[in-house]
Amino acid sequence: MHLPVWHRMSMRHLWLVATVLAGLAGAGQQKPAAEEQSSVIQVDVDVVNLFCSVRDRKGAFLGTLAKEDFTVTEDGKPQQVRYFTRETDLPLTIGLLVDVSKSQERLIEVERRAAGQFFSQVLRPKDMAFLISFGVEAELLQDYTNSPRLLQKALEDLRLNAAVGGLHPGPVPNRGLQRGTILYDAVYLAAQEKLRREVGRKVLVLITDGVDVGSRIKLEEAVEAAQKSDVIIYSIYYVDVRGYGYFGVSDSALKKMSEETGGRLFHVDRRNDLERVFAEIQQEMRSQYAIGYSSLNPAKDGSFRRVEIRTNRKDVKVQARRGYYAVKPER
């Protein structure tokens, strides 16, 4: 019997709290050497940490920019960058969310194979990953692990999870179906319940056609949960056109989730198969700059602060989240 995602996380939360407290206590007892501090993003409740990637007009990633090449503004006001690194070895936590609703039934085998290859290539010793499938319910198939073998085994458990009944059962929403694909609920749960207390780079990769039928969480709430958890969302728009006929579907929700959190939207089509999309995501995750600054507005009033990162080069595009919520740190 599979338990819902939120029923299988309490022990992980307790372990995370103990680990974080122990780490903070150790940080207070031992001060790292000066040369070590220069290459580490410090854990500081008053520091806004941002990750961004920079591409030229041809789409190639630029990894040679320096701290002086960047400017950061918050609500239109310039901020002083305190921490900067081009290191690609910062710990990475990945959550893969796979749509197994009725509309994706014929795509599951391709998703399983490509995701297994992705995990085997992207995970490094310090990285962790988990796997969630979602249809009418969200199910945690594999909790945090660094083992591609365990993740591959969990991928073998991907199964169709569709609603039964209704006037016209199928992938297209209608009045007879109250719940079909809880995409927004799955994103909210992954961000809020799994990634909120993690540190370092945090990424959600979604494989879905972008259709949501019956989530209790709204799109805006899912985006807010990701922003409050400092999560970057990469959306893979993968559609089985045979499942929709003339109805068609939109990628607008996926585009919003990705752009608001500093990620990207990818389309699987004849020119870009799923394996190639995963390879692009892997390259981007290893081509990011880490930037930290102390906000000139110290108030922790829960408001949303609009952030913009620019470079002194006009021929490049900076990709980063569009802001953050100024909330008080959890005790």
The kind and range of the H/E element at 282 are helix 274-285
Domains of the chain: residue spans and CATH: 32-88+287-325 (2.60.40), 90-285 (3.40.50.410)
pLDDT tens string 6-49: 433 333 343 333 333 333 334 344 434 433 333 343 344 579 99
210-221 pLDDT, tens digit per residue, is 999 999 999 999
Residue 236 CA to residue 115 CA, distance in Å, equals 12
Predicted local confidence at residue 229, as pLDDT: 95
Report residue 189 as tokens: 């749960």
* Per-residue model confidence (pLDDT) at position 242: 79
Place of tokens 């470079």: 311
Helix (H, G, I), strand (E, B) or coil at 225: helix
Write the pLDDT tens digit of every residue in 266-318: 999 989 999 999 999 999 998 899 999 999 999 999 999 999 999 999 899 99
Q: Is the CB of residue 130 less than 8 Å from the CB of residue 143?
A: yes
- Is the pTM for the entire model greater than 0.75? yes
CA atoms within 13 A on the CB side of 143: 14
Query: Once rounded to an integer, what is the mean pLDDT over residues 110-114?
Result: 95
More reliable by pLDDT, 248 or 44: 248
Instruction: Give the count of beta carbons closer than 10 Å to the beta carbon of residue 254.
Output: 24
Tell me the sheet residues that pair with 84: 291
